[in-house]
Amino acid sequence: MPTLKIHRSAGPDFQGLYEDDPKAAKLVAEFIEQAKETPELLDTFTDHGYGKERSATYHVSKWLDQWHKGRNLWRVKIWHLENQGKFYRIVYAFDPPDAYYILGITTHDQNDPKDFYDDESHAFTKRVVDVYDALFGQ
């Protein structure tokens, strides 16, 4: 049975989200709890493209820059938040065959060339990569 754990490094992200946007934080927390309790939902967390074009309530994607560097990092976005102009990403690692670790929550700005997806020097990216490497011996 798959498991989902929140790594302690994600704690400040959750705290910041609760302080900045309590409604979004509540929705994210409910989504994570639902994923923990629903193996079928959690199984979609490694289905690249799941929910694309709003075919589900959330969208799953590999973090491709990191994937190509050998890191099994993924992200999920919740469409309901996107509809409100809130571009949060839940970033997690997958440890086959069935363990998931949430490593952080951040915002995404596709118009920003310094966004965490594309900028190796971005503080969020550095932290997530460092935690991933420590967990999985990269």
Q: Taking the domains of the chain in order of start, what are their residue ranges?
A: 3-133
What pLDDT score does 48 carry?
A: 97
C-alpha distances in Å from residue 42, one per residue of 32, 35, 53, 104, 123: 9, 5, 19, 17, 28
Q: Domain 3-133 maps to which CATH number in 3.40.50.150, 3.20.20.150, 3.40.50.720, 3.30.2310.20?
A: 3.30.2310.20
Residues of the chain with pLDDT under 70: 110-119, 138
This prediction has a pTM of 0.93
